[in-house]
Chain A
Amino acid sequence: MKILCTTVLIFYILFVKGQNDNMAYVAGGKFVPLYGSVNKKPISIDPFFLDKTPVTHQEFLSFINKYPKWQRNKVKKIFAGENYLEKWPSDTNFPKELQNSPVTQISWFAAKAYCECVGKRLPTVNEWEFAAMASQTEIDARKNEAFTREILSGYETPNTYKKEVGISKANYWGIYDLHNMVWEWTLDFNSIMISGENRDKNNTNLFCGASALGADDLMNYAAFMRYAFRSSIQANFSINSLGFRCAQDLKEKG
């Protein structure tokens, strides 16, 4: 009976609620992330919703229009570094050709505020990694060499932040552009390096030999690069190739 109820609820969420907006349902499950699990034990991810595409310039402009304190010239400097929306010709104008491209050059504070203002939140690193390990057909495609290779070559391709969102193929969960577009902010982007739970390994930094020792999957170079990137940034950084998307808990949505 309980199972039936849950199933009905999920179907309700998926097909009645979920179809009307641009979020995808991620059923959750267990997985071992590259970093951040104690003794390589799988961690549990509760079901959640994730935006199908990164937040675009157009969407971010609507947010700024509602909350002008996030305009380039009004934002408090401690919340956004010098490059914040640096490409925008004015406070309320983005470069035209980037309308449907992911908004970048935004700080963690701005991304977090955006998500909160639309009743959502930033995904955690583990949620993001869980959703992003799916290929078009598999929930966990990390062992799939072609999948990893494609991600890796995407990281090496310059200027992918100029691409339009939602054009590439969706992954297993119906989510687009987790790879081969921009890096994405996560709620706890710096927790692994600074206060992560694997302090017992006493050296979790990403330099030289140490990086290899802490890794669960040596072959997953692409994940290495994401963790390395996250550990290089601070919450007020605004970077050309760094955007975001929002997540939502089931109960918030239901």
Chain B
Amino acid sequence: MKTNSSKLLQLIALLLVVSIGNLSCEKTKEKTIASEDIKAYGSLVAELTSPPNVPKPIGNRSAKKLIISMEILERESEIANGVTYVFWTFGGTVPGSFIRGRVGDEVEFTLKNHPNNRLPHNIDLHAVTGQGGGAEASFVAPGHQKTFSFKLLNPGLYVYHCATAPVGMHIANGMYGLILVEPKGGLPPVDKEFYVMQGDFYTKGKYGEPGEQPFDMQKAIDENPDYVLFNGKVGGLTGDNKLHAEVGETVRLFVGNGGPNLVSSFHVIGEIFDKVFVDGGTTVSENIQTTLIAAGGASVVEFKVESPSQLILVDHSIFRAFNKGALGVLSVSGNKNNKVFAGEITEGIYQPEGSVIQNLDIDGKTVDTDSGVSLTKAEKMVFGKNLFNATCAACHLQDGKGIANAFPPLAKSDYLNKDVDRAIRVVLKGLSGEVTVNGNIYNSVMPAQQFNDAETASILTYVYNSWGNNGTEVSAEQVKKIRNNE
């Protein structure tokens, strides 16, 4: 009897285990089968957009056969003003074209390798379930094209990238982008959607060094980038390229990180993310200040803009933002909303720095000079403008107008025009304490800049000959004199 009852117990236990096993098995199966079995009705040529634009939402459309055609282009373009780099691109831009589909779509993907390209390429889409994410099926020589197909099973925001050897180099040269897979019925509508992707770049010359800059393999292996950028260029999302929204609008950013090496601490200065789709997946986290985006990962962030301002997109690993280029602007216009932000208190304002290596040490004599360089005024204007936009514009802005109560204007500035030697000294040694510029009092800190004599002369010549200033030309000798004598 005893043996019988224990056998019975064993049997019950066994049944329980089996049935639990079945349950969990069915649960996961059900999900996959559901996506897999969604029928595709008709076909559709996918809209592809270059950054920062995003294709139209899928809305209520049924799953379809989605036809995608993407061209690979190896092309030289500017990585910063006056600095060129040979980028390898999906669709001609860094990041590559944005792809948007929905769960159940059957994608027919054609990858075209332009005949003028030197190298074979392929594509690994993280949204693909299958060998290499499509890498092997799409491996294509210059002047050829490959077509492969797959079904979108899981909703989310996914990275795609080239996976041809040497993989790191193909990614480092800009071969990545995003593919969004919307759930059935689509994401909830918002007013504005933008496409932003971070990447790190490794050049032979240091940040801002003008001319053609080749890829530096050793720096890439050492994970020591010269540039960390949004949308492939210093200023890719600032100046004329900044994003725009109106007060009261809801904004959704599709943010990816192509890497190849760095993980991003994505943050928008002056905003709080109402919602973050963590890692680009289904989990929604609310009220987030900074979200981590893995290399080869993505995130969807949403917020409502309540007050007019210049929201600053940064990688909050902050030296990358102010010294390596990871800076963008979302300009919000509209009526002031004093309830949300009165904007009158200057204390506690964040203190961005210039973009080259800075030195708070007042002893400027230790800095190397490059006095052999002699430039014409026209050359100084070009060189100076590039350096100004890469460094000084972070605070004084590209139009030299500065930011009220924080960073004094350089445009039509009485303080600047009155004393050239003082201006040189400020660039070389920094400035702190109270100054009055055009009748307004500023009290903050400008760190010493590590420019050499020729660079300093060029920047100041550019500043003195722009925005209604008095047209002074500054020479490297003047700078040298002040550097050495004081």
Contacts and interface: CB of A to CB of B under 8 A. Distances in A.
Closest CB pairs A-B (n = 7): A232-B120, A211-B165, A206-B165, A232-B141, A153-B214, A228-B165, A224-B166
B217 A233 contact: no
A240 interface: yes
B176 to A, nearest CB: 14
B115 A159 contact: no
A183 B163 CA distance: 20
A205 B164 CA distance: 10
Contacts of B214: 152-153, 156
A54 B143 CA distance: 21
Q: What secondary structure prevails in chain B residues at the interface with A?
A: loop
Contact of A211 (B115, B141, B166): B166
Given A158-B76, A206-B164, A232 B135 contact: no
Nearest to A233: B141
Nearest to B86: A156
Interface string A215-233: 0000101001101110111
Interface string A47-81: 00000000000000000000000000000000000
B122 interface: yes
Contacts of B22: none
A99 interface: no
A149 interface: yes
A252 interface: no
A206 B119 CA distance: 13
Contacts of A208: 124, 132, 135, 163, 167
B457 interface: no
A155 B76 contact: no
A148 B221 CA distance: 15
Interface of B: 74-76, 86, 115-120, 122, 124, 132, 135-136, 139-144, 163-167, 169, 173, 214-215, 217-218, 221
B74 A239 contact: no
Given A148-B217, A208-B132, A238-B143, 18 more contacts: A145-B218, A152-B215, A152-B217, A156-B118, A156-B173, A156-B214, A156-B215, A158-B116, A205-B136, A207-B164, A219-B217, A224-B166, A228-B120, A232-B141, A233-B141, A237-B144, A239-B142, A240-B143
B173 to A, nearest CB: 8
A100 interface: no
Contact of A207 (B122, B173, B218): B122
Interface string A227-254: 1110111100111110000000000000
Contacts of B169: 221, 225
Interface in A162-220: 183, 205-208, 211, 219
B119 A225 contact: yes
A157 interface: yes
A37 interface: no
Give the one of A148, A149, A156, A227 with max B CB within 10 A: A156
A83 interface: yes
Nearest to B173: A156
Contact of B141 (A148, A158, A207, A229): A229
Nearest to B139: A232
A225 B117 CA distance: 13
A145 B218 CA distance: 9
B217 A239 contact: no
